[in-house]
Structure 1
């Protein structure tokens, strides 16, 4: 569902199961808008005004991202493989598959230098260099961390708007900010309740705040530089349901929340 001022402007039909990840294209030189989705029906899909392009997989697809241009897509799958796809006018082409992870891949993100970071369900963060020919494995970023040794699942990865720091959301109620070259842990954030589900946190466009949902139905706001919890918001519902994902509007002072609540599955709050 695509909403415009609280009204559904587009209803994109195609997936046959849960949708796990979404991303708008950010390439201003591309041909109109594109939306990338992936889900439990073992597909990733690229949507535009007229149709959708289907990228078939052998297992659940948990994360998908456009490449440096709309012409490429990278996907992370339950089968522990990263796949790089090329889109063209006729049919998509699988460029290559990459074997490095030892667990399902939960999150993908690019830095400003064209490097791909991938996080899995056993706590590994892999770093990949991107070239015309494909992806090349560089290193495991967090190999010296306690979370890596304990195989703590990674829920999501998110870069600071400046590109210089990486937010890592581990399952088990742990979030931290890493230096993306050395893997050094800079700041930790605590207070959310997240023992079980794959929640997704976010950094504000101004770079000043970290925000995350919680399995107890609350939303937590942290000062990014100090790590302090500055606010807690609770959705006005009769039941306590996990807040699964949060996303800032890129220019307006608003944030969207996705909840498992049947009363209030999608909320927009003033920031």
Structure 2
């Protein structure tokens, strides 16, 4: 059974003009996207028109990650200034600045109803911040990691984290349990399958692994890309049929989930590292970031081209 081609057509390239683009993220509906810049800014775009809608300025150093809230009214961002900022999307104002991390904050996510922001840092901690409270300090701190926390994902009842100490950790919010799985290599990115039963893990041995959440069993490995040095995003598409990863050779690699077979490569001409990805929530579209630009890929060529 053949797998249909996925996002093979470059629809749009956008020069973001915010230094190096550290991350790109679709909003929850896939209508807009956020970019995080080395120039300390977060920008809101309509990626289909290449239109800049708003710029959010307030970080003191490079911004490394951001996410829109479930109703797209707020943004949470983090970066090398050790802070997490909660923004009002429409006014562009910062509503809260959360401080407490002792080093660069690598990643941040909202929980399902966007009432809590969860951040992971070089200081090895994960911190939970109440976005509805005026209290500036974290209400929960998880400090099990022995090295930098590189990646965080959140479902309705679980927090999934990856660390350079080679362990993925799952925190069950309902019963307070923590379960760890050893990958034996530094982890740069983690992702839940849609049914919540699988964990996709990217490691610095240029290998992605699909793990059974309950048993820890290795279900599949994905190789061919290069990832030995940088934090590179991995993800699944909206159908969970495709595994996607950036790479340190200027290419995005796409595999079939079940067979583990490489089915597509998206070349980013002139780029050395493609480090950030964001799959559209309901279409076979993908956003990627490399150097100073973002790229929108689709499964069909645009009709007006």
The interval holding the TM-score normalised by the smaller chain is 0.7 to 0.9
Aligned CA distance change for structure 1 residues 235 and 68 (closer, same or farther; 3 Å) = closer
For 2:166, what is the secondary structure of its paired residue? Answer: coil
What number of residue pairs does the alignment pair up? 251
Q: CA deviation at 1:24?
A: 1.9
Q: CA deviation at 1:84?
A: 1.4
Aligned CA distance change for structure 1 residues 64 and 104 (closer, same or farther; 3 Å) = same
Q: CA deviation at 1:10?
A: 1.0
Paired residues of 1:106 and 1:120 also in contact (CA < 8 A): yes
Q: CA deviation at 1:88?
A: 2.3
Q: Specify every segment of 5 or more residues in structure 2 that has no aligned partner in the other structure, as ranges.
A: 1-42, 300-305
Residue 252 of structure 1 aligns with which residue?
283
Paired residues of 2:238 and 2:284 also in contact (CA < 8 A): no
Q: CA deviation at 1:172?
A: 1.9
Equivalents in 1 of 2:265, 2:168: separation in Å?
A: 29
Residue 160 of structure 1 aligns with which residue?
193
Paired residues of 2:237 and 2:284 also in contact (CA < 8 A): no
Paired residues of 1:126 and 1:137 also in contact (CA < 8 A): no
Q: CA deviation at 1:93?
A: 4.1
Residue 116 of structure 1 aligns with which residue?
159
Q: Is residue 64 of structure 2 the alignment partner of residue 39 of structure 1? A: no
Q: Specify every segment of 5 or more residues in structure 1 that has no aligned partner in the other structure, as ranges.
A: none
Paired residues of 2:112 and 2:155 also in contact (CA < 8 A): no
> Which moves more between the two structures, 90-99 or 167-176?
90-99
For 1:77-92, list aligned pairs within 5 A: 77-88=121-132, 90-92=134-136
After TM superposition, the score normalised by the length of structure 2 is: 0.77
Q: Is residue 44 of structure 2 the alignment partner of residue 2 of structure 1? A: yes
Paired residues of 1:106 and 1:155 also in contact (CA < 8 A): yes
Deviations 1:232-260 (A, max 9, x none): 121233xx420011111113332111002
Q: Paired residue for 1:217, among 250, 262, 266?
A: 250
Q: Is residue 107 of structure 2 the alignment partner of residue 63 of structure 1? A: yes
Residue 139 of structure 1 aligns with which residue?
179
Paired residues of 1:87 and 1:93 also in contact (CA < 8 A): no
Q: Is residue 294 of structure 2 the alignment partner of residue 266 of structure 1? A: yes
Deviations 1:51-82 (A, max 9, x none): 22211132110111112322211111111111
Higher relative contact order at CA 8 Å, sep ≥6: structure 1 or structure 2?
Answer: 2
